[in-house]
Amino acid sequence: MSKDIQYIHEFDFSLISSFFKRIDRQGPGSPQVTKRALSFIDNLPVVSRIADIGCGSGGQTITLAENAEAHITALDLLPDFVAKLNGKIKDLKLENRIETIEGSMAALPFSDGELDLIWAEGSIYNIGFEKGLCEWHRFLKDHCYIAVSEASWLRDNQPAEIQEFWQNDYPDIDTVSNKVKIMEKAGYVPVAHFVLPEDSWIKNFYEPMPPAMESFLKEHDYSIGAKEFVKLMQHEIDMYMKYKEYYGYVFYIGKKI
Ligand code: SAH
C-alpha cells in the first residue's frame, strides 16, 4: 500500500469528531457484547464505582448503567461525543448515575484504589494496550476488574495487504494469546476473553456509515480533507470485509492481583 494513504489518527480532531458524532458508536460493539463482558465480573458491590474510559457518545455507558448498580464516570477527550452522551443521560434521567468528564485517558482524575471496575470499549488503543493496563492498574481496588476491547489477530499468516494496513494504523495489534500474556504481566489474572461477533462491526459500526458520509461531505462542502477522510473510512470497511477472518475485536477481562 502506498505511503500517500493517510490514516484516521492523522486527521485533525474536528474532522474525526464531525464524522463520528453522526453514528451511534465510534467503534465495534453492541449492548449484547457489553452485557456479555459484564457477565464475567463477579462480586460487583451493590453500588460500585465504574470508570468508562474513551466512552465516545456512550454506546456502552448506558448499557452499563442499565445493567450494573453503579456510579459511572464516563470520560472522553472529544467534547462533541461527551455532549452527545450528556443528551442521552438527560433524556433517560440518569444524571444521578452517570457523570461525564472531558479529559484524557493518559491523565485520569482518579485516586489509587478508588474504582471497582474499569471499562474501555474500543478505546485503549489510544494510549496503547500495555500502557493502559499498566497505568490504570493503580486506580482499581484489589481483586477488582478491568474490561477492554482491542483489535487482535484471529489467525496467523496474515496476507501482506492487511498486515501493512494494521502496521500503519495500529502496530500493537497482536494475537489473542500475546494480548492475554500482556494482561497477565500488567498485574491481572486473565479471567475471560471473547471475540466480538461480526455484526458488532458490520451492522452496528459500518452499516450506519454511508448515510453519515453523505451528510458529513455536504456539511464540509465536499472539501479535500472531508473527501480524504471518507475515502479512508471506505478503505477501512473494504479491508474488514475482505480480511475479517484474520482480525477482529476481542474483549479481555482481567482481575487485579
Ligand atoms: N467506547 C466508544 C468509543 C470508542 S472510539 C464506543 O465503543 O463506541 C475511541 C474513543 O476514544 C473516541 O471516543 C475518542 O474520542 C476517545 N479518545 C481518543 N483519545 C483519547 C484520550 N487520549 N483520552 C480519552 N479519550 C480518548
Q: Which of 3, 13, 6 is closest to 233 using CA atoms?
A: 6
**How far out from the chain centre does Cα 154 lie?**
18
- Provide the whole-model pTM: 0.95
CA 20/CA 6 separation, integer angstroms: 17
Q: Which domains does the chain show, CATH number per domain?
A: 27-197+245-256 (3.40.50.150)
Q: Which of 9, 77, 149 to mutate to test the pocket of ligand 1 (most atoms within 8 A of CB)?
A: 77
If pLDDT is split at 50, 70 and 90, which confidence band does 46 have?
Answer: confident
Does the structure show a pLDDT above 80 at 7?
A: no
If pLDDT is split at 50, 70 and 90, which confidence band does 3 have?
Answer: very low
Does the structure show a pLDDT above 70 at 21?
A: yes
Task: Check residue 12 and give its pLDDT.
Answer: 81
Task: Check residue 1 and give its pLDDT.
Answer: 41
For residue 78 and ligand 1, the question of a CB distance below 6 A is answered with: yes
Does the structure show a pLDDT above 80 at 189?
A: yes
Mean pLDDT value across the chain? 95
CA 132/CA 54 separation, integer angstroms: 12
For residue 104 and ligand 1, the question of a CB distance below 6 A is answered with: yes
Q: Is there a contact between 28 and 20 (Cβ–Cβ < 8 Å)?
A: no
If pLDDT is split at 50, 70 and 90, which confidence band does 9 have?
Answer: low
For residue 254 and ligand 1, the question of a CB distance below 6 A is answered with: no
The percentage of residues in the chain with a pLDDT greater than 70, rounded to a whole number, is 96
